[in-house]
Amino acid sequence: MKRLLLAAFLALGFCASLPAQQTSLQMFSSSAQPSTSASSFHFALVPELAPPPSASTPFSTYASSAAALPNAPAPPQRSSSSEILYSWDLAVGYEYVHFDSAPFTSNLNGLHTDLTYNLNDWFGLEGSLVSAFGSDVFRERSKYVLYTVGGRISAGQSSLRFAPRLTPWAHVLVGGAHLNPQLARQSKNGFALQLGGGADWRYTERLSFRAEADYVRTMLYSDSQNNFQIGIGAVLHF
């Protein structure tokens, strides 16, 4: 009977200790494994590596990044033929010269050559040479040579609305003049001042036609002369 009572007490004690052991085991297992929040907290300290851009990146992404970059300079555009400025103008043509002096008067015909270096679209440095021949004076054929240099001012191409191909211009040149015939105790050479202007009509990009007129004051034969000359010709632009 005593053994039976002792076995019953032991069974009751064992049954009572089971819930406490299960609770302690659960607490131990929970403390042994890290919680989800702690795990996420520790992993948040490590920076995540961004994946490389895939080949299927939208075109709009590249367009927006390209728009953020500074714009590349636009390629130079070639202007129309009427607006092209060449550095050199070479003009060659016919020239008529009327020379009037106290000893004699002569009308001469010859060749006019002109070379201009354009510094910009309205101003250039010009050199001019006129060589003309006339009738006999004092049994000697008259000959006239005018060589001058100076500046030329141009109104610019397309300056006239009614004639866009026409380019008016004016020049002031100084230099010298050489004239035959030879007079007694007089020099054939003297100072010359040339004032005038004209207009160029552009035929093609590199070719124009020119008309001009000039007043020429010379100092020959111990005197001064007031002369004029007119000419027409062609101009090569290069």
Instruction: Tell me the per-residue pLDDT of 125-150, one tens digit each, with 9 for 90 and over.
Output: 999 999 999 988 888 889 999 999 99
Task: Please state the rounded mean pLDDT for residues 94-115.
Answer: 95
Cα gap 41→180, rounded to integer Å:
112
* Local confidence band at 37 (pLDDT 50, 70, 90 cut-offs): very low
Question: What pLDDT sits at residue 147?
Answer: 98
Of 13-27, 162-176, 201-215, minimum mean pLDDT range: 13-27
**Distance (Å, rounded) from C-alpha 107 to C-alpha 229?**
10
Task: Dump pLDDT digits (tens) for 64-98.
Answer: 444 445 565 555 444 444 457 899 999 999 999 99
Lowest mean pLDDT among 87-101, 116-130, 184-198: 184-198
Mean pLDDT calculated for residue range 198-204: 95
Q: What is the mean pLDDT of residues 170-176?
A: 98
Average the pLDDT over each of 89-93, 171-175, 201-205 and give the range with the smallest value: 201-205
Residue that wins the pLDDT comparison between 236 and 73:
236
In angstroms, the Cα distances linking 73 to 70, 77, 80, 101, 160 are 9, 12, 21, 63, 34
Q: What is the pLDDT of residue 182?
A: 76
- Between CA 116 and CA 212 the distance in angstroms is 15
